[in-house]
Structure 1
Amino acid sequence: MERIEDNIIELLEYLEELIENSPKVPITGKTIIDKKEFLEVIDQIINTLPDQLKKAEWVMNEKDRILQDAQKEYDNIRRETLELMKKNVENHDIVKEAKVRANEIIALAQRDAKAIRLGSREYSTEILSQIDREIEEKRAMLIKSMQEAFEIAAKEIDKNLSDTGSRIKENIAELRDM
């Protein structure tokens, strides 16, 4: 899982570098970005995330399969117990023993099914929460990076406009002195 996280982080850092190193449009403060390259990196990120979701889905499907197997085993044991009880109705001790054994098996199967259900739910919740946290962190980092880039561009524009204004004032002063 750490390898996937590292891959996503690397891709997001690469996007950040693309933004920072892309040529700037004078006056507007906008950046020219290679759309094709940018979209390819986003596609790589999108294609990486579903693997985690597929793992969570596999866990849920595996839980369902185990529950179904437990239910089938429960049904088979119950059916076998009923058949045994019908054959040995006269022998009361065997019927009692079969009921006790069947109840033990049912209780065991129900306990195991509950534990599996809870474990798979917790695991799925943990994975999805972790993915959500990672996406939120990367989003915040990307927004911060973009804000910093915009602030730098705004400062450059302000400086350029101030310098231009100063030169215009100097030219006006020269014209007046002529």
Structure 2
Amino acid sequence: MEKMDVNIIELLEYLQDLVENSAKVPITGKVVLDKKEVIDVIEQIVHYLPDQFKKAQWVVNERERILQEANVELETARKETAELMRKNIENHDYVKEAKVRSQEIIAQAQREAKSIRLGARDYADEILSDLDKQVEIKKEALMNELKASVETFAQGLDGTLQNIGGTIKENIKELRSMK
């Protein structure tokens, strides 16, 4: 499981590097990306994510299977208890023992079902929380880089426009001084 998390993170970092290091389109702040390469990275990420969800689904399916087995065992125990009660109705100790045994089986099945249900929920929650944190971290880093790039571009553009404005003013002054 940990290896797949690393692969997804590495792919997201690669995608971020690809965006950061791509050729920039002047003035617009946009970049030119290799569509095939970006789609390939996205497909790899999409390929890895289902494995995480498959693992969570397996845990849920396994829980359901164990619950079904516990229900079958419970039903078998109930039938055995009913048969035992019919055969030995006059023997009070057998009836009492059967009730205790059936209650133990029910309690055990309920404990196992609860444990499996909580384990599956916690596992799925942990995977999704980790994925959410990683996406949030990468988004924040990407936004900071984007803000820094836009700010740098805006400062450069402002300086260029001020130089152009100064040149135009000088030209106007020179034209007015001509006689």
TM range (shorter): 0.7 to 0.9
- Per-residue CA distance 1:34-78 (angstroms, 9 max, x = gap): 222222222222222222222112111111111111111111111
| Correspondence 1:4-153 to 2 at 5 A | 4-153=4-153
Distance change >3 Å, CA 132–CA 41, structure 1 → 2 = same
CA contact 1:16–1:145 (8 Å) conserved in 2: no
- Per-residue CA distance 1:89-110 (angstroms, 9 max, x = gap): 2322222212211111111211
Distance change >3 Å, CA 117–CA 148, structure 1 → 2 = same
In structure 2, the gaps of 5 or more residues are none
Amino acid at match of 2:5: E
Q: Distance in 2 between matches of 1:66 and 1:74?
A: 12
Higher RCO (C-alpha under 8 Å, 6+ residues apart)? 1
| TM-score w.r.t. length of structure 1 | 0.85
Q: Distance in 1 between matches of 2:129 and 2:158?
A: 43
Identity %: 58
- Per-residue CA distance 1:106-149 (angstroms, 9 max, x = gap): 11211222222222222222222222222222222222222222
CA contact 1:56–1:124 (8 Å) conserved in 2: yes
In structure 1, the gaps of 5 or more residues are none
CA contact 1:29–1:157 (8 Å) conserved in 2: no
Distance change >3 Å, CA 168–CA 145, structure 1 → 2 = same
Task: State which drifts further: 33-42 or 76-85.
Answer: 33-42
Superposition RMSD on alpha carbons, in Å?
2.2
Distance change >3 Å, CA 29–CA 115, structure 1 → 2 = closer
Which residue of structure 2 aligns with residue 160 of structure 1? 160
| TM-score w.r.t. length of structure 2 | 0.85
Amino acid at match of 1:31: V
The aligned length equals 178
